[in-house]
Structure 1
């Protein structure tokens, strides 16, 4: 796993970059903080100066058959080849091992978007970043409840991810290698599993990932009831809640807005050719 010193240095650099560029980076801190992070030794790439200051960082995140990477360079040290060096190291390790190698950049990051285009990466898609800071208006539906997932729920989680996101069995299992069922919640209707989501809690923020319902239970108010329940808990506990949604997923965007979320930035993805 990453050392506490490495995590502190990454966080400090993230704050400096976000303040200078007025953006929000998607660094997936739940994965960076995982105990099994970097077991292979090739998930995180660092560039330090002679004094030991972190000037550049790039992280690899594996999601089934695709790789996502997010990098950053100290604003005072750009145009010195640091980003290119880090990406070359990462692509050398990962490009032939995955079907898709995606580079993530905030839409508002002029340097990030310009860099992706300059290296010939092809635009793939964009995700909205949505935020909820206020306690949402309660919405209840009889028979619907949300509970923490336990070890015995793993197969249910696997099945929901396979059906909801079109993943293979091996791809789904790779998503859970870092923490098992921890952080996941099961959505039930009348005692039957009908969906799931995952919550990553940080100091001041909570991020919602992997929200999915079985196909036949969508559009019936179940998702709204589950989301307002979990978001109510998080905001009441002092958290700002974030989630991502594809820009072409109008149904999901509409649902999230009814649960108190508003758009606050977007993340663009560019695909690196093999």
Structure 2
């Protein structure tokens, strides 16, 4: 588990890097705050100051990797050293797939990943809702997820996001009891047909894992649930954010239709060694 000091150091370095490079890093803070005993975080210090950081984020057999270096300390080999340590840990833990994440506009980071032999896989938009009037939505029930919903949550990940059963099981099991997070199930006519997860931090509400069973898609249910959720979170004083793969054209159109706009983009590369 990371100490309060380490978390504060990561946060300060993130703010410095984002301000200097004018971008947004994806550090998966909900996972940083709930680390287990595995070696998933790598730090490099100079004169007791955090200079470089790499975090590993486990999703079953897949691991995502994100890192950063203090702007004034770049091109000195710090990140390369940390990356080698991180990849050694990846091999020891036994992950089957490694995804390296970088902001789309971070050319130096992209060049580094390509030099490591990583291949571009996909991109993800980070979207934010621009306030506009939303009508009240009906025809569904949102309820708190229960332990008996775990099987359905896993099924939704597999069918809606094409995630492997192994990874979906690991991910949904990890999400149980996560702080500042609300896991909701979507019921229609007494049948559970979807889920949506809301994580609140500071003044932001992030929507994750929003999914509807394929046989219930195309009926307008997803749009109604999304409008209801956005309206509720906005009225509670939160700005609303979400991530979506750029190749998911249907989801992009849905989000844009109710007022979401793209703010940042993240690129993912597959690494094999």
Q: How far did 1:54 drift?
A: 0.9
Q: How far did 1:259 drift?
A: 2.4
* In 2, Cα distance between equivalents of 1:105 and 1:95: 21
Q: How far did 1:72 drift?
A: 0.5
Q: How far did 1:177 drift?
A: 4.0
Matched, 1:39 2:37: yes
Render the CA deviation track for 1:24-59: whole Å, top value 9, x for unaligned. 11111111112xx1321x111111113x21111111
When residues 83 and 221 of structure 1 are mapped into structure 2, their CA distance, relative to the original with a 3 A threshold, is: same
Matched, 1:125 2:116: no
1:149 match: 145
* In 1, Cα distance between equivalents of 2:216 and 2:166: 26
1:246 match: 245
2:7 match: 7
Which ranges of structure 1 fall in alignment gaps of 5 or more residues? none
1:237 match: 236
Normalised TM-score (structure 1): 0.92
Q: RMSD of aligned C-alpha atoms?
A: 1.7
Greater alpha carbon shift after TM alignment, 92-101 vs 3-12: 92-101
1:69 match: 65
When residues 225 and 181 of structure 1 are mapped into structure 2, their CA distance, relative to the original with a 3 A threshold, is: farther
Matched, 1:137 2:150: no
Instruction: Determine helix, strand or coil for the equivalent of 2:112.
Output: helix
Q: How far did 1:126 drift?
A: 0.8
Instruction: Determine helix, strand or coil for the equivalent of 2:124.
Output: strand
List, as ranges, runs of 4+ consecutive aligned residues in structure 1 with deviation greater than 4 Å. Answer: none
Greater alpha carbon shift after TM alignment, 168-177 vs 6-15: 168-177
* In 1, Cα distance between equivalents of 2:136 and 2:109: 40
* Correspondence for 1:49 among 37, 41, 46: 46
* In 2, Cα distance between equivalents of 1:218 and 1:64: 27
1:181-192 counterparts in 2 under 5 A? Answer: 182=178, 183-192=182-191
* In 2, Cα distance between equivalents of 1:270 and 1:155: 30
Render the CA deviation track for 1:165-220: whole Å, top value 9, x for unaligned. 33344322211343416532111112211101222211122221111110111011
Instruction: Determine helix, strand or coil for the equivalent of 2:174.
Output: coil
Q: How far did 1:99 drift?
A: 2.2
* Correspondence for 2:166 among 163, 170, 174: 170
- Give yes or no for contact 2:62–2:167 (8 Å, CA) kept in 1: no
1:41-120 counterparts in 2 under 5 A? Answer: 42-50=39-47, 52-95=48-91, 97-120=94-117
* In 2, Cα distance between equivalents of 1:228 and 1:181: 25
Q: How far did 1:114 drift?
A: 2.0
Q: How many residues align?
A: 269
Q: How far did 1:106 drift?
A: 0.5
Q: How far did 1:146 drift?
A: 1.8
Instruction: Determine helix, strand or coil for the equivalent of 1:138.
Output: coil
When residues 272 and 136 of structure 1 are mapped into structure 2, their CA distance, relative to the original with a 3 A threshold, is: farther
